[in-house]
Amino acid sequence: MKILVVEDEKGLAESITDYMEKEGYICETATTVQEADEKIYLYTYDCVIVDLTLPGGDGFQIIQTLKQLVVTTGIIIISARNALEDKLKGLEIGSDDYLTKPFHLSELNARVKSLLRRRQFGGHTEIRFQEIVVVPQNRKVYVNHQLTTLSRKEYDLLLYFLSNIDVALTKASIAEHLWGDNIDSADSFDIVYSHIKNLRRKLIEKGAADYVQSIYGIGYKFSQS
Amino acid sequence: MKLLAKTNRIYLAFSLVIYLLTALAFYQIIRYLIYDEVESRLQIERRDFETYVRIHNTWSSSPYFVENKIEVAPVSQPPTSRRAFFADTLIQNRYDDELIPFRQLTFYVPIHGTLHRVSIRKSLIQTYRLIEAVTFTMATFLGLLLIGTFWFQGKLSGRIWLPFYNTLSRIKHFNLNSEAPLQLATSEITEFNELNEVLQKMADKMRQDYQSLKEFTENASHEMQTPLALINAKVEQLIQSEQLTEIQTHWIQTIYEASRRIVRLNQGLLLLSKIENHQFQGIQLIDLSQLLVEKLQDMEEVLSFKELTVHICSHDSFEAELPVALADILVTNLVNNAIKHNQSGGFIELDSSNEFLCLRNTGGTLVSEPQRLFERFKKEGTGTDSIGLGLAIVKQICDSYELSISYKETQGNHQFRISRLLPADSNKMIT
């Protein structure tokens, strides 16, 4: 799986590639429109993460070029612009997702995974982690081949964990993933706790091991060890 | 009231007064002239009568006086004053029972040694006719003149003020958001040209300032969000490292929370300035009540976690015209506010009609002044994670899209009520 990160802020590009590489992707970066164009013409990527405001042009140009060359490449825009027009324009010319800066790396990762799944298998693939199997197509979860009924938020939470295995997830990123940017109260962290508790209980009831670790003060980690 | 209507009205009132005064003066002058004429003729006849009496020392109906009414009667008691005097009188016409106005000169003459009172009368019927005719003609022509001038004045000022009204409508339709600059037509009148020039300059300056403000907003957004994204990303990476001590974790957590706060603050302020600058497009008629119900359903888990019950008294559609994105923010902020400042086991109540949208919630009593609740950075309690912009944003959205919002608290029940601004005010400005 190859990913191209087009971002002029070197530090941010570095963070994204580090994070993605840990997830097992091959990452390349480009900092200008020209550089991005060169790479696009030379290689094929599964997913391109592109910033809109770039030296030497606009991220929209890259998306347009990409759409002419390879139709199967997934495109995620990351931008500080959060105007609705930009989002609509981005989606209209063929990007698959739009993430407003600043975002959580874990959120970006979850979006990339979900996008690749949709692109490559049409959502037909199953996500497996030990005894847990998730079928995204019909939003079903099986533990030890038994169907486990999860609420909508619990399902989203599980998927978020499965996209970020062995990664410490902050409570803020979990709350925002589940309820969007608008959840801005301190209480939201308590409710994250209550959802994690429920999810954990439901998984354990069906015979799964307890994979959720609590990291003091920060959040949670879904991990085998 | 329109400028022209106002001046026309004043002009009309003034003309009417002048018209009435002129008519009255005219009438009085003609009347005076006629009376003067009649009276001098009566005086002449009196002299004729006296001469006749002196010569003949008697009186008999003489053919000379036939056309005059003359009445001679002996006076039994001497009158208090012997002076001659004029009077108006009405005498019945002996043929058709009509009362006819007469001018009468009364004087005293001794005939055969006895004092007689003599009244000579002259019919005023002809002169009255004359007065009537003159008055009528005058009133008609003056009236016509008045109406004519009035009509002409209306037409003329309508034409003269036309450039002014053109300018006015151009300004009304001038939109800072649109790319087109304000264009005003030149006219023959210097003052209007000067006015247009000044307006044009102002509009150009405004457009420039607005453009630079917009650019600044966007640049600030980008310039700040990117380093913030970097900080967040690095902190998140740091969190991933295994060898953190508890105290390091605590520091990282503090940095992370602080940076999240700046992010939200920055986003909130940008949003406020964007709403102020009317940078949101795509105004639609949106059922806010329905949106609120959906938002409450979205927050279902949060509500049940805080043990809050939702009562929907009625959710008849309350429709307002505003951009979709802002409608969503408006509703979200209201719901968040109602949840955040609620107490465990409390309730949220939605009541709406065609006229208003009302969201009530339980909660602690208010510490700060209610009217300052919508101010920026006005927070209830210091311990909360709130950045204090939620209600300021709600207020700004309402202000920008002809909605009014009011807050009321009674015994721990907090009520936010949104209604439409009465269209009367806006109509007044347009007409």
pLDDT given at position B68: 54
Identify the residue with better confidence: B272 or A131: A131
Cβ(B377)–Cβ(B257) below 8 Å: no
To probe the interface with A, which of B214, B218, B232 has the most A CB atoms within 10 Å?
Answer: B232
Residue from the list B232, B306, B340 with its beta carbon closest to the beta carbon of A102? B232
pLDDT given at position B61: 59
- Within 13 A of B305's CA, how many CA atoms are on the CB side? 18
How far away is chain B from the Cα of A102, in angstroms, using its nearest Cα? 4
pLDDT given at position B381: 59
Q: What is the mean pLDDT of chain A?
A: 88
Which of A17, A21, A25 lies closest to A1, judged by CA?
Answer: A25
Identify the residue with better confidence: B268 or B61: B268
Q: How far, in Å, CA of B394 to CA of B374, rounded? A: 8
A-chain residue closest to B217, CA distance: A81
A-chain residue closest to B221, CA distance: A80
With an 8 Å Cβ cutoff, are B298 and A179 in contact?
A: yes
Q: What is the mean pLDDT of residues B80-87?
A: 80
With an 8 Å Cβ cutoff, are B229 and A217 in contact?
A: no
Pairing of strands A74-79, A97-100: parallel
Q: How far, in Å, CA of A5 to CA of A78, rounded? A: 10
Residue from the list B233, B236, B340 with its beta carbon closest to the beta carbon of A187? B340
Q: What is the mean pLDDT of chain B?
A: 82
With an 8 Å Cβ cutoff, are B301 and A186 in contact?
A: no
Cβ(A45)–Cβ(A3) below 8 Å: yes
Residue B242's H or E segment, with its range, is none
Identify the residue with better confidence: B67 or B333: B333
- Tokens 């465990």 — which residue? B344
Lowest mean pLDDT segment, chosen from A114-123, A179-188, A190-199, B90-99:
A179-188
Q: Per-residue pLDDT tens for B311-335?
A: 988 878 899 999 888 998 899 889 8
Cα B3 to Cα B8, B172, B198, B318, B429, distances in angstroms: 8, 17, 21, 38, 13
Which of A5, A15, A75 lies closest to A39, judged by CA?
Answer: A5
How far away is chain A from the Cα of B220, in angstroms, using its nearest Cα? 10
Q: Per-residue pLDDT tens for B1-42?
A: 777 788 888 888 888 898 888 888 888 888 888 889 888 988
Structure tokens at B326: 């802002």
Cβ(A221)–Cβ(A158) below 8 Å: no
Q: What ipTM goes with this model?
A: 0.84
Identify the residue with better confidence: B81 or B304: B304
**Count of residues making up chain A:** 225
pLDDT given at position A199: 94
Q: Per-residue pLDDT tens for B408-425?
A: 888 888 999 999 887 544
Residue B390's H or E segment, with its range, is helix B390-400
Q: How far, in Å, CA of B414 to CA of B348, rounded? A: 10
Structure tokens at A189: 């962290």
The type of residue at B165 is Y
> What sections of B277-354 are H helices per DSSP?
288-298, 300-305, 324-340
Q: Per-residue pLDDT tens for B194-249?
A: 989 999 899 889 888 888 887 787 677 667 888 888 998 899 888 888 788 888 98
Question: Which residues in chain B are contacts of A216 at CB distance < 8 A?
Answer: 246, 249
Q: How far, in Å, CA of B339 to CA of B361, rounded? A: 8
> pTM higher than 0.80 for the full model?
no
pLDDT given at position B430: 40
- Tokens 């909360």 — which residue? B384
pLDDT given at position B431: 36
Which of A14, A107, A22, A12 lies closest to A53, judged by CA?
Answer: A12
- Within 13 A of B64's CA, how many CA atoms are on the CB side? 9
Structure tokens at A142: 């099986």
Please give the span between the terminal C-alpha atoms of chain A, in angstroms, as a whole number. 26
Q: How far, in Å, CA of A36 to CA of A38, rounded? A: 5
pLDDT given at position A28: 94
Q: Per-residue pLDDT tens for A29-72?
A: 999 999 999 999 999 999 999 998 888 888 899 999 998 887 78
Q: Per-residue pLDDT tens for B140-161?
A: 888 898 888 888 888 888 888 8
pLDDT given at position B257: 86
Q: What is the mean pLDDT of residues A142-151?
A: 92
Chain A interface includes B218 (CB < 8 A): yes
Cis check: omega of the bond before A102, within 30 degrees of 0: yes
pLDDT given at position B66: 44
Q: Per-residue pLDDT tens for B372-384?
A: 888 877 766 555 5
Q: How far, in Å, CA of A156 to CA of A169, rounded? A: 14
Who's near B79: CB < 8 A, 6+ residues apart?
B108, B117
Q: How far, in Å, CA of B331 to CA of A86, rounded? A: 23
Q: How far, in Å, CA of B208 to CA of B214, rounded? A: 10
Q: What is the mean pLDDT of residues B72-76?
A: 79
Rg (C-alpha) for chain A, rounded Å, is 18
pLDDT band at B290 (very low <50, low <70, confident <90, very high): very high
Q: How far, in Å, CA of B173 to CA of B183, rounded? A: 11
Q: Per-residue pLDDT tens for B334-393?
A: 988 888 888 888 999 999 888 899 999 998 877 777 778 888 777 665 555 667 788 889
What region does B177 belong to: left with phi over 0, alpha with psi -120 to 50, or beta?
alpha
DSSP, collapsed to helix, strand or coil, labels residue B321 as: strand
Residue from the list B229, B237, B336 with its beta carbon closest to the beta carbon of A101? B229
Angle of CA points B242, B244, B245, to nearest 5°: 140
Residue from the list B226, B253, B384 with its beta carbon closest to the beta carbon of A186? B384
